[in-house]
Amino acid sequence: MQRTFAVIKPDAFAAGFQGKIISAIQESGLKVVAMKTLLLSERQAKGFYHVHAERPFFGDLVKFMTEGPILAMVLEGDDAIKRWRDLMGPTNAAEAPSTTLRGQFGTNIERNATHGSDAEDTAAFEIGYFFSGLELAR
């Protein structure tokens, strides 16, 4: 059993795709073990994406992630990290297959509807960044 961190980003949240995305998660067999809506501050968004701080797109990414509310979730299941990333599809939503969430609900390489942790260590950091131990007690 593995846990991963998932986000419905401001573009998909504002467009009202929360229900469709949560349904897709549940139909895939992954379990939503925690979720909350929040509006990130600039400081919080920078902390979340700190690994990208030196990348040229960092400023725009922080602006995007703070433009409106997000839905943060913890997903659980066997091989959850890879399964959630497969469901999301590739980073560039413009090139993502229409069978993937980014293909269906994203727009381009920045506004791509969803986030998913890419490895066990990033999942642990990201889950802990957004959720307390009490919120994850099962």
57-63: Cβ within 8 A, 24+ apart: 57/110, 60/110, 61/110
Sole binder of ligand UDP in the list 3, 46, 83, 115 (CB under 6 A): 115
DSSP 8-state assignment for residue 100: S
Site for ligand UDP in 36-65 (CB under 6 A): 52, 57, 61
Q: At what angle do helices 80-88 and 18-27 cross, to 10 degrees?
A: 130
Q: Which stretch binds ligand UDP (CB under 6 A): 11-19, 67-75, 106-114, 125-133?
A: 106-114
Residue selected from 91, 107, 124, 125 as contacting ligand UDP according to rule CB under 6 A? 91
Q: Quick one: which segment of 11-19, 26-34, 72-80, 111-119 binds ligand UDP (CB under 6 A)?
A: 111-119
Active-site residue identified among 115, 116, 123, 127: 115
User: Please, what is the minimum distance in Å from the beta carbon of residue 134 to ligand UDP?
Assistant: 28
Side by side, which strands form the sheet with 2-8?
A: 31-38, 70-77, 2-8, 114-116
> C-alpha angle 47/49/51, rounded to 5°?
105
Is 50 one of the catalytic residues?
no
Residues that bind ligand UDP (CB under 6 A): 52, 57, 61, 91, 109-110, 112, 115, 118
